[in-house]
Amino acid sequence: MSEITSLSLFELIKNIKEKKISSNEVAKSFIDRSEKSKKLNAYVTENFENCLKLSKDFDNKPNFDLKLPGIPIAVKDLFCTNEVRTTAGSNILNNFVPSYESTVTQNIWNEGGILLGKLNCDEFAMGSSNETSFFGNVQNPIAKDLVPGGSSGGSSSALAASLTPVTIGTDTGGSIRQPASFTGTVGLKPTYGSCSRYGIVAFASSLDQAGPMSKDVKDSSILLEVISSFDKKDSTSIDFKRNNYSSDLTRNIKGIKIGIPKEYRVDGMPDEIESLWKKGIEYAKDCGAEIIDISLPHSSYALPTYYIVAPAEASSNLARYDGVKYGLRSSGESLIDMYEKTRSEGFGEEVKRRIMIGTYVLSSGYYDAYYLKAQKVRQLIKQDFDQAYNKVDAILTPSTPSSAFKIGEKSNDPVSMYLNDIFTVPVNLAGLPGISIPAGTDKNNYPLGLQIIGKPFDEQTVLNIAYSMEEKINYKNNITDWWMQ
Amino acid sequence: MTIDLKTVKHISKLARISLEEKKAEKLADDMNSIFEFIEKLNELKTENVEPLTSIAETTLRFREDKITSNNIREKILKNSPEKNDDFFVVPKVVE
């Protein structure tokens, strides 16, 4: 048998069920590899000892009917985990130990998953390169000093480096799909309302969604099946009939109509992205899909809309960090002074910038000009997709306008950093499901991804298209373990 | 439109974030470049468009008005930076 850490989730489950390997052996293998991979800085908090103990408990009393029988899984440090430190990548939550569990992670433990550790991310998930984390940069296992994408950068790094078999991230404007694209892995953002937001540190509540990240499409379907659930504790959780995503997975997509939006041919897009997209269209045709040109006329307004809506919601959500009930407190002469110093010392630059933008666009006299305007444009963006879906079943685009960039390359220019999310943000604004799958490499051999966007609640079609294209593309990551030398 | 230093300081008061002078200047620059980018929305006429506030097209659910958790005072106070037995403690607010 090949090395345990290189097995897919599907293969691990199969081997555990057939008693060829034990949960404890699996846990040991991933922990051993994680220990040798500290240079990647993927973990914020390790849960290794506890993981070993729980894996032994599983082996002593195995339940092979579970969907994730004794599988160790590391998760983004944005999910609250009971009695395990949860930082959201921020100094203000450096010592925060939740006394409750997020629904999404609880669903994983209920199906036999075991917490391996908490993974680095941009502070409060605000970033596209993992450079805003209080706990430092994360290395992309693809090459030295390359960003792993963000905000789920610790997740994408740990996954691509085989420190965890699968992982979960959160996606507000592309934070699952962009890091997946940068690391040659698969990342799925489900429909808004599919996965509960309960216990996820809030960034922008009308956009935030949790989703699976994995090495192949089948693994994402297994994990989505576990984490997607209706939850009374989340007021925007939606009660709809969920598929058995993994058993319903099929490569038969004959006759499926896939739209190609002309507005995604943006100015200055590198030729390699354009040619990747063209190749993707050919692969989709080979799989039996019908390709149809479509128009999403308001696409170019998505990013400006996002940079009003998301900071506005963030400024409101982050008002709770006041140094009183939990988190960091700085000393001040008065209550107000304490608030101001706590928030100044507790938040990093990008988070402060977004709180300031959000406070400004919500402030008296500016609300209509910015926030209301953005909500109206958001309606137009959603209507674009509604109209497109009268003609097609799904939409194919590049995931990102470039491959992974170097650490430090874009950190001084917020707008150029924001442009990373140009193809992913519209999907969040319209609440749709979207997946990024690895589809090729650029001239440096860095991975590039393609995005498949679906109709609301139609994760199955998105997965099926991804599953059949994946077989044709036959992408393999070339990970050299350079960080271990 | 440009955001001047005075506005930045006013916003930082509203956001309860203390700002050093030098940082305020940098922030004004950043905010101006971001708003320049945001101004693009003014190209669109939106008088007759309904704002989209939530993508989940459901009315909010009601639940029974009853207590579902008991005796969690300790858990709630556990993460507080300063507390006494039963309360969060803050700097004095009345003279």
Q: Are A324 and B15 in contact (CB < 8 Å)?
A: no
For A113-132, what is each residue's pLDDT tens digit? 999 999 999 999 999 999 99
CATH code of the domain in which B15 resides: 1.10.20
How confident is residue A212, by pLDDT bands cut at 50, 70 and 90?
very high
The count of structural domains within chain B is 1
pLDDT value of residue A422: 93
For A448-460, what is each residue's pLDDT tens digit? 999 999 999 999 9
CA separation (Å) from A290 to A257, A281, A294? 5, 10, 12
Q: Which of A399, A479, A463 is nearest to A216 (CA)?
A: A463
Average pLDDT over residues A306-310: 97
Catalytic annotation, pick one of A22, A34, A102, A151: A151
pLDDT value of residue A266: 85
- Distance (Å) from the alpha carbon of B70 to chain A's nearest alpha carbon: 13
Three-state secondary structure call for residue A230:
coil
Q: Would you say residue B10 lies in a domain?
A: yes
Please state, for a pLDDT cut of 90, what percent of chain A lies above it. 95
| Nearest Cβ partner for B90 among A324, A355, A382 | A324
Q: What length is written for chain B?
A: 95
Q: Would you say residue B28 lies in a domain?
A: yes
Residue A136 CA to residue A180 CA, distance in Å, equals: 20
Clarify whether A152 is annotated catalytic. no
Q: Tell me which chain A residues have a C-beta less than 8 angstroms from the C-beta of B39.
A: 304
Would you state the CATH architecture of domain A13-479?
Answer: Alpha-Beta Complex (3.90)
- Distance (Å) from the alpha carbon of B23 to chain A's nearest alpha carbon: 9
A427: pLDDT strictly greater than 80: yes
pLDDT value of residue A411: 80
Strand A394-398, strand A447-454: pairing: antiparallel
Is this prediction's ipTM beyond 0.90? yes
Give the domain range for residue B33: 5-43
B1: pLDDT strictly greater than 80: no
How confident is residue A1, by pLDDT bands cut at 50, 70 and 90?
very low
Q: Would you say residue B39 lies in a domain?
A: yes
Among A residues 279-318, those touching chain B with beta carbons less than 8 Å apart? 298, 300-301, 303-305, 307-308, 315
How confident is residue A416, by pLDDT bands cut at 50, 70 and 90?
confident
B58: pLDDT strictly greater than 70: no
For A188-204, what is each residue's pLDDT tens digit? 999 999 999 999 999 99
B52: pLDDT strictly greater than 90: yes
Q: Would you say residue B85 lies in a domain?
A: no
Among A residues 87-116, those touching chain B with beta carbons less than 8 Å apart? 95-97, 99
Residue A302, C-beta contacts closer than 8 angstroms, at least 6 positions apart: A381, A422, A425, A426, A429
> Both tokens of residue A381?
């963006």
Q: Would you say residue B24 lies in a domain?
A: yes
Clarify whether A181 is annotated catalytic. no
Reported in sequence order, the residue ranges of A226-322 that DSSP labels E, i.e. its strands, are 257-261, 290-294
For A431-443, what is each residue's pLDDT tens digit? 999 999 999 999 9
For B83-92, what is each residue's pLDDT tens digit? 888 899 999 8
Instruction: Give the helix, strand, coil percentages of chain B, each rounded to 5.
Output: 40, 0, 55
* Range from A97-106, A242-251, B72-81 carrying the lowest mean pLDDT: B72-81
For CA atoms A75, A135, B33, A272, give the dihedral sign. negative
Q: What are the extents of the domains in chain A?
A: 13-479
Q: Are A329 and B18 in contact (CB < 8 Å)?
A: no
> Both tokens of residue A160?
């691509």
Please state, for a pLDDT cut of 70, what percent of chain A lies above it. 100
For A135-148, what is each residue's pLDDT tens digit? 999 999 999 999 99
Clarify whether A151 is annotated catalytic. yes
Q: In DSSP terms, which residues pair with B92 in a beta bridge?
A: none
Number of CB pairs, chain A paired with chain B, less than 8 A apart: 157
Q: Would you say residue B37 lies in a domain?
A: yes
Most B CBs within 10 A among A81, A307, A342, A356, hence the mutation to make, goes to: A356
Q: In DSSP terms, which residues pair with A435 in a beta bridge?
A: A188, A452
Following DSSP, what letter does each residue of A435-484 receive, concatenated? EEEEEEE-TTS-EEEEEEEE-TT-HHHHHHHHHHHHHHH--------GGG
What DSSP element (H or E) covers A114? Answer: strand A114-119
Average pLDDT over residues A46-53: 98
How confident is residue A393, by pLDDT bands cut at 50, 70 and 90?
very high
Q: Give yes or no for A375 touching B (CB within 8 A).
A: yes
Distance of CA A94 to the CA centre of its chain: 22
- What is the average pLDDT value for chain B, to the nearest integer? 90
Average pLDDT over residues A308-331: 97
What is the layout of strands, in order, in the sheet containing A434-441? Answer: A167-171, A209-214, A186-189, A434-441, A447-454, A394-398, A257-261, A290-294
Q: In DSSP terms, which residues pair with A187 in a beta bridge?
A: A213, A436
- Distance (Å) from the alpha carbon of B36 to chain A's nearest alpha carbon: 10
pLDDT value of residue A267: 82
